[in-house]
Amino acid sequence: MESLINKVGANKIPYVCVAATVNMAGGQPISMENLRQVHAFCSKHGIKIFFDATRAMENAYFIKVREQGYQDKSMAEILREMCSYSNGCTMSAKKDLLVNIGGFLALNDYEIFEEARNMVVVYEGLHTYGGLAGRDMEAMALGIEEAIQEDHMRARIGQVEYVGEKLKSIGIPFVQPVGGHTIFLDAKKFLPNLKQLEFPAQTLAAELYLESGIRAMERGIVSAGRNKETGDHYYPKLELVRLTFPPRVYTQAHCDVTAEAVEAVYENRNTVIGLEMIYEPKYLRFFQARFKRI
């Protein structure tokens, strides 16, 4: 950040977005100390901070169990402190908040709040419901209360850890420790014979689907997209496959089946053939691209 500011100047950076347990970083949490330092740094340069709070509750749980000085704080207290290091947050409620749809923008800054409240009428609906149905707002409010309970989060993340332990005992390569909502299989190590342009992570996701019907998500070269100027792919260091756990959906038996399915693909890994892309949409290609076995 320092070098970027030196290059372009702080006034060219309207805000810094901080996200918790992001996919492209293997679902790993950020520490309170990290947030504190980002806040101190941005304050010094007059840059605002917006927090992507989508998985902030999972992150609060990790801070509680891992970071020194937080063991005796409640998750709600931790979350409040996390939010205090931002000017506002965006929330995709259908993740941590246990609801089907919705989200919100919340602000610590009255001036921006006024402007946002005015704009929401133009783009979404009145600020009191933000384009959502009232009952969805109500579900979200209840979701906040439930998701911030430690028992809930211990059960949720415990399920991810359970699958992680199983995969570890089989010798499957994945990002460790596991993330809050997800396990990331390491496709480069899983399928070392595939070149990056044969889409190892996409291939692994496809093989897992064929084996078991389990739908995973590529987070590698397909997700990275193309350089706008040169038109070439970006070549990310990591080729990961995300096994996401929707909260309160799976039983332990589902978890066992998942680990067994990954094991079955792993046993046959030497016969796996890579993919070529046969359809590439213009934007966010990882959602809609199509592939064929080479």
Which of 143, 200 has the CB closer to ligand PLP? Answer: 143
Q: Which of 29, 51, 54, 144 binds ligand PLP (CB under 6 A)?
A: 54
Q: Specify whether the CB–CB gap between 232 and 226 falls below 8 A.
A: yes
Query: Nearest distance from residue 260's CB to ligand PLP, in Å?
Result: 27
Query: Nearest distance from residue 241's CB to ligand PLP, in Å?
Result: 17
Q: What letter would DSSP give residue 213? A: -
Q: Which of 95, 152, 188, 285 binds ligand PLP (CB under 6 A)?
A: 95
Query: Nearest distance from residue 202's CB to ligand PLP, in Å?
Result: 20
Which of 87, 203 has the CB closer to ligand PLP? Answer: 87
213 vs 216: CA distance, rounded Å: 9
Size, binding site for ligand PLP by CB under 6 A: 7
Nearest to 82 by CA among 46, 108, 102, 103: 108
Q: Which of 52, 109, 211, 263 binds ligand PLP (CB under 6 A)?
A: 52
Which of 136, 186 has the CB closer to ligand PLP? Answer: 136
- In the sheet that 88-92 helps form, which strands lie side by side, from edge to edge? 15-19, 48-52, 88-92, 103-107
Virtual torsion, Cα 245, 51, 36, 64, nearest 10 deg: -30
Which of 48, 269 has the CB closer to ligand PLP? Answer: 48
Q: Specify whether the CB–CB gap between 243 and 258 falls below 8 A.
A: yes
Q: Which residue is nearest to ligand PLP (CB)?
A: 92
Query: Nearest distance from residue 46's CB to ligand PLP, in Å?
Result: 25
Which of 74, 90 has the CB closer to ligand PLP? Answer: 90
Residue 16 backbone phi and psi in degrees, to 5: -110, 130
Residue the block writes with tokens 């409620």: 93
Secondary element (H or E) of residue 106: strand 103-107
Query: Nearest distance from residue 91's CB to ligand PLP, in Å?
Result: 8
Q: Which of 29, 88, 103, 180 binds ligand PLP (CB under 6 A)?
A: 103
Query: Binding mask 12-31 vs ligand PLP (x if CB under 6 A, - otherwise)?
Result: -------x------------
Residue the block writes with tokens 């947050």: 89
> What are the residues whose beta carbons fall under 8 Å from the beta carbon of 120, sequence distance 6 or more?
105, 126, 127, 130, 131
From 75-83, 90-98, 161-169, 263-271, span contacting ligand PLP (CB under 6 A): 90-98
205 vs 220: CA distance, rounded Å: 11
Query: Nearest distance from residue 19's CB to ligand PLP, in Å?
Result: 5
Q: Which residues bind ligand PLP (CB under 6 A)?
A: 19, 52, 54, 92, 94-95, 103
